[in-house]
Amino acid sequence: MLRYLCILAVITQLLSSANSEAPAYIKQCRRDDPQLVDCFIAALEHLRPYLASGIPEIELPPVEPFKMDSLALQLTEGPQGYKITLKNMDAYGASSYEVKSLQLGQNGGEPFKARLVIPKLKIEAKYTSSGVLLIIPASGGGDFHAVFDGVTADLTGKTSERNGYLHVDSLSIVLDVKKIDMNISRAFNNNRILLEATNLFLRDNSRLVLDAMQGQLQKKLASEFGKLANQLLKNVPISQFYSN
């Protein structure tokens, strides 16, 4: 009987060790760590290189570049108001985030909050426009380029536990950008007047353009980041986030 009890104890220990093993992209924390939030922040920053290149074994795509489909912007009013559509958007720099703060949800129902800072976010997209710009008909297309310096992203979301796995049920993002630079190229069949007029408008009204795109951009970022988070979380049981 003692022999069987010993064997059972060894098997139990092995199973316990197997359950606590975590993949390389997970930095484990101790449940009793008095600085648990700081450990979670370090774990989020530990993820950065894995997010940048993707994690094939769990089918997590790389976030460099971070891909979005399209944004439609109405920049001036009226029947011939100036409209821009951005398609095939690639954002570079999202994986260079730094976690400035993290507030965990309490009592199982309150939202979590986090603040991330991204030094530089670069967006490349295909650009089409219609309408009148600075009294000049400006319908055409080309390449759109934008650089956002000093990006702060405030995230708010709710999570739930599903059969031992964490799930992000909702996520919202609010962006603040310190400096903006936008321009287009290879547009209007390289018509110099239209190209310069459009770039003048974008340079002088970059904040207006950002305000026009911000609502859609925030929703798309929240949706895509939520999908990425859940793709990771559904492959890592909650127990593997802890070393004890």
CA 241 to chain centre: 21
Domain ranges in the chain are 2-241
Region 112-116: mean pLDDT is 94
- State the DSSP string of 44-100: HHHTHHHHHH-BGGGTBPP-SSEEEEEEEEE-S-STT--EEEEEEEEEE-GGG-EEE
Q: Of 75-79, 92-96, 125-129, 234-238, where does mean pLDDT reach its minimum?
A: 75-79
pLDDT at 68: 87
**pLDDT tens digits, residue range 215-227?**
888 998 999 899 9
**pLDDT tens digits, residue range 173-208?**
999 999 999 999 988 777 888 888 888 888 988 898
- pLDDT of residue 15 exceeding 50, the answer is no
pLDDT at 109: 61
- Amino acid in position 233: L
- pLDDT of residue 162 exceeding 80, the answer is yes
**pLDDT tens digits, residue range 53-109?**
999 999 999 999 988 888 888 777 766 777 888 999 999 999 999 999 999 876 556
Burial of 44 (0-12, 13-18, 19+ CB in 10 A): middle
Q: Domain 2-241 belongs to what architecture?
A: Super Roll (3.15)
Give the pTM: 0.81
Region 143-167: mean pLDDT is 94
- pLDDT of residue 44 exceeding 90, the answer is yes
CA 202 to chain centre: 25
Q: How far apart are CA 177 and CA 225, in angstroms?
A: 19
Region 18-37: mean pLDDT is 83
